[in-house]
């Protein structure tokens, strides 16, 4: 079966160079011949060589036909060389073939053809000039090897260029895929930010509105305070929305540099004041230094836990605890609500829980949902601590908001 190949050279450039060489050889060779008969024979052979050069462009992808091509060209070139072996310019045609064979064939069969060219030239020199003619063969051997080496280097350079082009195209495809993936991840991140931040604050606002509506007839002052708290909550929600849309940064540090523990304590206090649920906070006195992504994820986990306790669990108390052990920092949130089945917790959950699972997975952590001893639900959000030696954030110690 013929093997199909892609030529590793510029056919137009090589063909032009071959025809220019053929023209120079034809002019000098025909003028050097002494008889008209030999000139006619040489002219026919030179035309045949030129026709075969044109055919090479059509059969370059078929290795079987390429071998037939070089067999025919070898016959033509050898016949021309035999017309005038003494300082014959026709020997230059073997130089053309030596370069061309390296471009059209793999290295091993090409080397075989180079040996054939050397043998034919050596036989011709030995036939016409005896053993002394073999000395004249040496410059021809050098020429064949030089042009063959040139052709092989050209072939390798073209192969490297095509390989580089292929790698460039693959890299461009990969880059486009990565860009699409980055866009999808950014959309998911934005969706999580919107849900975790605005969802929490809007839930608190709805509870405040419902409570204020009930208290207006009997306790207008308290209702007014709840509406005021709701107004502040909405201001915070608007500011958080702006931060999310513009930079998607964590709302953990104000201008005064509020650390994570203080932000969690403030979150719990605000939630308790707004909903009436008792929030018990037990935080580490000295929290290891955490990257911004870790701090944001822990803060969002606390937000989602408080929101779920108020919205779905029908709880009256919530516990937020922070711990660091075995190379992990863990936020545990528990409530005394109606709870859920372990299997249900593992397989279901709203968008907020899915978002927390995604956050944990992206940071190499995990989210666990459990049944709290004594009733209710318990969430464990665990992230690995950074590998570098941790610093310490000076934060308030454990506390309970009553």
pLDDT band at 401 (very low <50, low <70, confident <90, very high): very low
pLDDT of residue 402: 39
Domain count, the chain: 2
Give yes or no for residue 290 having a pLDDT over 60. yes
pLDDT tens for each residue of 246-256: 544 444 544 34
Q: CA-CA distances (angstroms) from residue 382 to 37, 127, 225, 333? A: 97, 90, 37, 11
pLDDT band at 193 (very low <50, low <70, confident <90, very high): low
Residue 27 placed within a domain:
yes
Question: Which 3 state secondary structure label does DSSP give 368?
Answer: strand
Q: Which domain holds residue 365?
A: 259-402
* Residue at a domain's end among 170, 194, 223: 170
Share of the chain above pLDDT 90, in %: 6
Residue 243 placed within a domain:
no
Question: Which region among 75-79, 175-179, 215-219, 341-345 has the lowest average model confidence (pLDDT)?
Answer: 341-345
Give yes or no for residue 340 having a pLDDT over 70. no
Does residue 274 share a domain with residue 166? no
| Residue 249 main-chain phi, psi, to 5 deg | -95, 165
* Residue at a domain's end among 121, 147, 170: 170
What is the value of pTM for the model shown? 0.43
Residue 121 placed within a domain:
yes
Give yes or no for residue 216 having a pLDDT over 60. yes
Residue spans of alpha helices (H) in 247-283: 260-275
* Residue at a domain's end among 130, 152, 170: 170
Beta bridge partners of 368: 380
pLDDT tens for each residue of 99-138: 888 888 888 888 899 999 888 888 877 777 777 767 777 8
Residues whose CB falls within 8 Å of the CB of residue 73, separated by 6 or more in sequence, listed in order: 49, 52, 93, 97
Does residue 274 share a domain with residue 398? yes
Residue 193 placed within a domain:
no
Residue 400 placed within a domain:
yes
pLDDT band at 161 (very low <50, low <70, confident <90, very high): confident
Q: Residue 294 sits in a domain of what CATH number?
A: 3.30.565.10
Matching residue, tokens 């063969």: 137
Residue 395 placed within a domain:
yes
Residue 238 placed within a domain:
no
Does residue 152 share a domain with residue 20? yes
Does residue 266 share a domain with residue 387? yes
Residue 190 placed within a domain:
no
pLDDT band at 395 (very low <50, low <70, confident <90, very high): very low
pLDDT tens for each residue of 344-391: 444 445 567 787 888 888 889 999 988 888 778 899 999 998 775 444
pLDDT of residue 320: 92
Q: Which residues of 117-129 are buried (b: 16+ CB within 10 A; e: fewer)?
A: bbebbbebbeeee
Average pLDDT on 281-293 reads 80
Q: Output the CA torsion 157→158→163→166 (10° steps).
A: 150
- Residue 62 burial (CB < 10 Å; 0-12/13-18/19+)? middle
């Amino acid at each position: 079966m013929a093997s199909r190949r892609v030529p590793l050279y510029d056919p137009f450039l090589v063909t032009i160079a071959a025809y220019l060489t053929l023209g120079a050889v034809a002019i000098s060779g025909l003028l050097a011949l002494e008889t008209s008969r030999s000139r006619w024979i040489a002219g026919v052979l030179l035309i045949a060589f030129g026709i075969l050069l044109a055919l090479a462009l059509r059969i370059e992808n078929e290795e079987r036909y390429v071998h037939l091509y070089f067999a025919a060209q070898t016959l033509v070139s050898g016949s021309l060389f035999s017309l005038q072996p003494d300082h014959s310019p026709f020997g230059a045609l073997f130089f053309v073939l030596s370069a061309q064979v390296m471009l059209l064939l793999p290295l091993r069969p090409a080397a075989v053809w180079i040996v054939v060219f050397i043998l034919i030239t050596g036989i011709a020199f030995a036939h016409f000039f005896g053993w002394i003619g073999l000395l004249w063969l040496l410059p021809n051997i050098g020429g064949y090897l030089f042009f063959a080496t040139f052709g092989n280097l050209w072939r390798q350079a073209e192969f490297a260029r095509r390989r580089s082009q292929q790698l460039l195209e693959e890299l461009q495809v990969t880059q486009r895929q990565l860009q699409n993936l980055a866009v999808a991840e950014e959309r998911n991140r934005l969706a999580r930010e919107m849900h975790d931040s605005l969802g929490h604050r809007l839930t608190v606002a709805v509870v405040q509105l419902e409570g204020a509506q009930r208290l207006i007839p009997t306790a207008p002052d308290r209702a007014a305070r709840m509406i005021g708290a709701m107004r502040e909550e909405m201001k915070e929600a608007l500011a958080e929305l702006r931060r999310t849309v513009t930079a998607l940064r964590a709302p953990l540090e104000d201008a005064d540099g509020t650390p994570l523990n203080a932000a969690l304590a403030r979150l719990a206090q605000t939630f308790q004041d707004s909903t009436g649920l008792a929030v018990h906070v037990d935080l580490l006195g000295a929290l290891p230094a955490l990257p911004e992504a870790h701090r944001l994820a822990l803060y969002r986990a606390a937000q989602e836990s408080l929101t779920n306790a108020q919205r779905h669990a029908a709880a009256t108390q919530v516990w937020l605890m922070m711990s660091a052990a075995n190379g992990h920092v863990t936020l545990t949130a528990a409530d005394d609500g109606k709870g859920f089945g372990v299997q249900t917790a593992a397989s279901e959950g709203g968008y907020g829980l899915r978002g927390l699972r995604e956050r944990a997975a992206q940071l190499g952590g995990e989210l666990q949902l459990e049944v709290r001893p004594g009733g209710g639900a318990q969430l464990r959000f665990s992230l690995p601590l950074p590998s570098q030696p941790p610093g310490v954030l000076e934060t308030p110690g454990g506390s309970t908001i009553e």
